[in-house]
Amino acid sequence: MNIYDKAYELSNAIKQLPEYISFRNAYRILNANEQNKKMLEDFRKKQLELQAKEISGEKVSEQEKETLQKLWEVLNLNPELREYLSTEYNISKILDDIIKIIMEAVEIND
C-alpha cells in the first residue's frame, strides 16, 4: 500500500462530498461580491485580534466582545455570508474528524 496514493484517494473523496461542493459554490459566490468579501475579512481580522489579545494574556473588554458579537449578527443577516459560514463550518467539521482519525494512528502511548 502506498500511503501517498491513499492520500490522493482521500483528497478525491473529499472533493466529491456534497458538503465540499456546497462550500466551493458558497466560496465562489462570496468572492464574486467584493462588499461581502470585505465584510468577512474585517470580521475575521477583528476576531483574530481579540484571540491574540486573549492568548497574550491581555484582558478583552466586554465592549470588544459585544462589538464582535454584533458584527457576527450582521454577517448572519446576509444570506450569502450566512450560507458561506454554514458550509465552511460543515466542511471544517469533516476535516477536523479526519485529522483526529489520522492523529490516532500516530499517537504514541508510553
Task: Kindly report, residue by residue over 6-50, the tens digit of the pLDDT.
Answer: 999 999 999 999 999 999 999 999 999 999 999 999 999 999 999
Instruction: Give residue 37's pLDDT.
Output: 96
The continuous run of DSSP H or E covering 108 comes out as none
Q: Please determine, for residue 72, whether its predicted confidence score (pLDDT) is greater than 80.
A: yes
pLDDT value of position 1:
80
Closest CA to 17 of 103, 98, 101: 98
Question: Does the 3-106 domain belong in CATH 1.20.1500.10?
Answer: yes
Using the predicted structure, report yes or no on whether residue 110 has a pLDDT greater than 60: no
Amino acid at 99: I
Predicted pLDDT at 109: 63
pLDDT at position 106 is 87
Please report which confidence band the pLDDT of residue 105 belongs to, taking 50, 70 and 90 as the band edges.
confident
Judged against a pLDDT cut of 90, whether residue 5 lies above it is answered with: yes
For the four alpha carbons of 80, 86, 91 and 95, in that order, the dihedral sign comes to: positive
